[in-house]
Structure 1
Amino acid sequence: MRSSQGAIFMTMLETFIKPMHREGYKFVAIFAAITLVLFLIWDPLGWIGVGLTVWCYYFFRDAKRAIPQGRGLIVSPADGIVSLIERAVPPPELGVGHAELTRVSVFMSVFNCHVNRTPIASRLVKMAYRPGKFFNAAMDKASTDNERNSLLLELPDGRHLIVVQIAGLVARRIVPFVSEGQGLRTGERFGLIRFGSRLDVYLPEGVEPLVALGQTMIAGETVLAELDRDLLRRTAISE
């Protein structure tokens, strides 16, 4: 009986307590320090600070994900909601030309996990940062006007897939974890955007998305598209 109760307790803890990415340590420490000061001023303010500190901790959570394993699977690079599916020209700083590709945009609110994951096993051939404005990331013009970091990924068959990290209305820092020339695994963490943002995925020509507007996405888990649907064999590993 005790072992069963212990297992239930551990399951409850895992539900509410998630690993935190190291990028969040200093921010949680700052929020906690401000909370202590607020308690000295007035207890109700202190409890508001506690709530904000907990939110900050959850913002930087880095939960394990069950990464689908299958040939040609493209998974979502971000948690959030599909806000746009349209044809668009990739960022010019990548130098891939002016042909339109299918773009799928995933909007992340301040309540989503903001650790970004690689959509498919590939090699990072180019990464280009461009400063810009901070419009609401859900708006279409955010793709062209906002601060962004663009990644050109080369697939094993020579095709390319593009992922763009876009800062939002509140976001003020795009943090990459990778460098040019690096090989990446499907679902591998490649970056983070602080406090609300968006991820754009430009699919290779001829590849159609398998998601819909308004659909909830889970980074590293939700299948966004498939390169070779007839060869698909799905399993999953936790990472």
Structure 2
Amino acid sequence: MVSLKSTVIKPMHPEGRRFVAIFAAASLPLFLLWQPLGWIGVGLTVWCYYFFRDPERFPPDLPGHVFSAADGVVSAIDTAPPPPELDLGDVPLLRISVFMSVFDVHVNRMPVAAVVRRIAYRPGAFVSASLDKASEDNERSSLLLELPDGRKMIVTQIAGLVARRIVTFVGEGMSLEQGERFGLIRFGSRVDHYLPEGSRPVVRVGQRAVAGETPLANLEG
């Protein structure tokens, strides 16, 4: 039975605890200065908790599909060379981008069952993650994934206009299941999925995606 509590109150990822504590502590002196300011602080504290929420997700049984690594809106479906720091050449791959606003869940999940073969971090700018140039200019962390059949795909976490920290929970050589948590980006960002040759998109630009549950592409074409 689904309760109101379980519907409204979601578990918070441990990454958010100190931020919620900071917002809550800052609210106390604001009440002393002026009560309306204190209530604004309370509202921001609740928002911070909400930002770091980490609900359970359950990937549907759809063999051969790639699921979204992020909650948000499909902002682009195009082709682009893989991030150069992975040294994979410049042959364009199908790329599906999901933009996360500050109101979306920001815990990222594995789009496929795979082994993490390489993690490459690159510092950069903080332009709006909704812009095309964010994939090239912004701070990012790319995971090279090897699928069970040997094919490779890439998931790139990209910081946004407000985001200043990409957190990756996994390490090279780890074997992860589809839907398993692998990282988080703080305060507005984007995730790019670079897919193996022959993959076919099953989403459209503007469609909402849910991490670990929304299929983005069919690997079998």
TM-score between the two structures when normalised by the length of structure 2: 0.98
Q: Aligned runs of 1:71-86 on 2, under 5 Å?
A: 71-86=63-78
Identify unmatched segments of 5+ residues in structure 1. Answer: 1-6, 230-239
- Equivalent residue in structure 2 for 1:144, among 130, 136, 147: 136
The answer to whether the Cα contact below 8 Å between 1:106 and 1:200 also exists between their aligned partners in 2 is yes
| Residues 147-185 of structure 1: per-residue CA shift (max 9 Å, x gap) | 000000001111101000000000000000000000010
**Aligned equivalents of 2:202 and 2:66: distance in 1?**
10
Secondary structure at the aligned position of 2:3 is classed as helix
The answer to whether the Cα contact below 8 Å between 2:139 and 2:159 also exists between their aligned partners in 1 is yes
| Residues 40-68 of structure 1: per-residue CA shift (max 9 Å, x gap) | 11110011111100000000000011212
* 1:73 positional shift: 1.9
Q: Aligned runs of 1:209-228 on 2, under 5 Å?
A: 209-228=201-220
- Equivalent residue in structure 1 for 2:81, among 80, 89, 101: 89
Matched, 1:61 2:53: yes
Q: Which moved more, 1:67-76 or 1:17-26?
A: 67-76
Q: Which moved more, 1:158-167 or 1:10-19?
A: 10-19
Partner of 2:96: 104
Name the aligned partner's letter for residue 11 of structure 1: S
**Aligned equivalents of 2:99 and 2:164: distance in 1?**
16
| Residues 200-222 of structure 1: per-residue CA shift (max 9 Å, x gap) | 00010110111100000000000
* 1:226 positional shift: 1.8
Identify unmatched segments of 5+ residues in structure 2. Answer: none
* 1:34 positional shift: 0.6
| Residues 69-88 of structure 1: per-residue CA shift (max 9 Å, x gap) | 33212110000001111110
**Aligned equivalents of 2:150 and 2:71: distance in 1?**
27
Q: Aligned runs of 1:3-82 on 2, under 5 Å?
A: 11-82=3-74
**Aligned equivalents of 2:150 and 2:7: distance in 1?**
41
**Aligned equivalents of 1:67 and 1:106: distance in 2?**
17
Name the aligned partner's letter for residue 74 of structure 1: V
The answer to whether the Cα contact below 8 Å between 2:198 and 2:220 also exists between their aligned partners in 1 is no
Name the aligned partner's letter for residue 142 of structure 2: S
Secondary structure at the aligned position of 1:69 is classed as coil
Partner of 1:233: none
The answer to whether the Cα contact below 8 Å between 1:71 and 1:228 also exists between their aligned partners in 2 is no
| Residues 101-147 of structure 1: per-residue CA shift (max 9 Å, x gap) | 11100000000000000000000000000000000000000000000
Q: How many residues end up aligned between the 2 structures?
A: 221
Q: Which moved more, 1:67-76 or 1:192-201?
A: 67-76
* 1:15 positional shift: 1.2
**Aligned equivalents of 1:181 and 1:144: distance in 2?**
26
Tell me the C-alpha RMSD between the 2 structures. Answer: 1.0
